[in-house]
Structure 1
Amino acid sequence: MGHRIFTTAVADVYPHYVAKVERKGRTVEELHQVISWLTGYDDAALARHLETGTTFEDFFAEADMTADADLITGSVCGVKVQEVEDPLMKRIRQLDKVVDELAKGKSVEKVIRTPAA
């Protein structure tokens, strides 16, 4: 049995992401940049998922996750992202983490990780 968040619509959580980043002086465009980097969704695809009430489970099942997602480390709500066992929960925590970083003032360039050369 999966966690309740798996069957929650992304559209139900998205306004909280927007409020969080805007409260800290960031923009919806910057939020979309980091979501796009992580999931591969462009603005039109993201809008479609929000309009149709896609669950987190389906949202991430259809996503073209960046190969650099595993570079996302640190804690969200006291849970270390890199230690989350369940693959879907890990993706959700990674999304939470990049939104947190953006809201905490990290530049989009820093949130969008690139592996060390």
Structure 2
Amino acid sequence: MAKHPIYTMSVAQVYPHYVNKAARKGRTKEEVDHIIRWLTGYTQDQLEALLEAGQDFETFFAEAPELNPMRRKITGVICGIRVENIEEPTMQEIRYLDKMIDELARGKALEKILRS
């Protein structure tokens, strides 16, 4: 079965959309970065280098230093699909990130988004 096109898409192509979505609701780039770092374990310098290098989503998640175990507490619907029911691991990681950015844009407190 062919891979979903998002796997080969550069994170840098989607990142500005994450930031813009958050900014439209008065949230910041720093909050978006914080969410990504929390989810993946990348440092800010690593994140910036990967964005500049054009890292694709599949590699971005496959090589993440430490996927946060608390991410499994992320539940809900994104793109009409419950994130906790997604069986393909890479797609689930991508949708976890999408869900967290949506929560940020909806005004949810960062502590709650990070399942603190």
Q: TM-score, normalised by structure 1?
A: 0.95
Aligned residue runs from structure 1 range 16-95, under 5 A:
16-63=17-64, 64-95=66-97
Q: 1:42: Cα distance to partner?
A: 1.5
Q: Choose from 91, 108, 115 the match for 1:113.
A: 115
Q: Within 1, Cα distance between the matches of 2:110 and 2:63?
A: 24
Count of residue pairs brought into register by the alignment: 114
**Deviation at residue 65 of structure 1 after TM alignment:** 0.5
Query: RMSD of the TM alignment (CA)?
Result: 0.7
Structure 1 contact 33–108 (Cα < 8 Å) conserved: no
CA–CA distance in structure 2, aligned partners of residues 35 and 111 of structure 1 = 11
Q: Please list every run of 5 or more consecutive structure 2 residues that lacks an aligned counterpart in the other structure.
A: none
- Aligned-pair CA distance for 1:43: 1.0
The residue type paired with residue 97 of structure 2 is L
| 8 Å Cα contact 1:69-1:94 kept in structure 2 | yes
Task: List gaps (5 residues or longer) in structure 1.
Answer: none
SS at match of 1:105: coil
Contact 1:60-1:91 at 8 Å conserved across structures: yes
Q: Could you tell me how far apart the structure 2 residues matched to 1:28 and 1:12 are?
A: 15
1:77 positional shift? 1.2
Deviation, structure 1 residue 80: 0.4
